[in-house]
Amino acid sequence: MADWITESELCEWLQITPVTAWRWRKEGMPYIGSRKSIRYNKEEIEKWLKEKTKK
């Protein structure tokens, strides 16, 4: 089963600000939901970050 986390949990996990999370969503970071109910899948985020750092 997937690990879904909130934006605040994402920011704590990655040591980023909500503004950075918003910017990364605009750059293609995977998420579900909208506005106050956004959730992130930790496995998908890890894959996305690995791809992002390869460029």
Domains of the chain: which residue ranges?
4-54
Instruction: Retrieve residue 54's tokens.
Output: 């390869």
> pLDDT by residue (tens digit) across 27-47?
999 999 988 899 999 999 999
pLDDT of 54 higher than 90: no
The conformation of residue 54, written as its DSSP 8-state character, comes to: H
Instruction: Report residue 52's pLDDT band, with 50, 70 and 90 as the boundaries.
Output: confident
Report which residue type is found at 29: M
pLDDT of 55 higher than 70: no
Instruction: Retrieve residue 9's tokens.
Output: 């949990």
Query: In angstroms, rounded to a whole number, what is the distance separating the alpha carbons of residues 33 and 51?
Result: 23
* 55 vs 7: which has the higher pLDDT: 7
Phi, psi of 15 (to 5 degrees): 55, 50
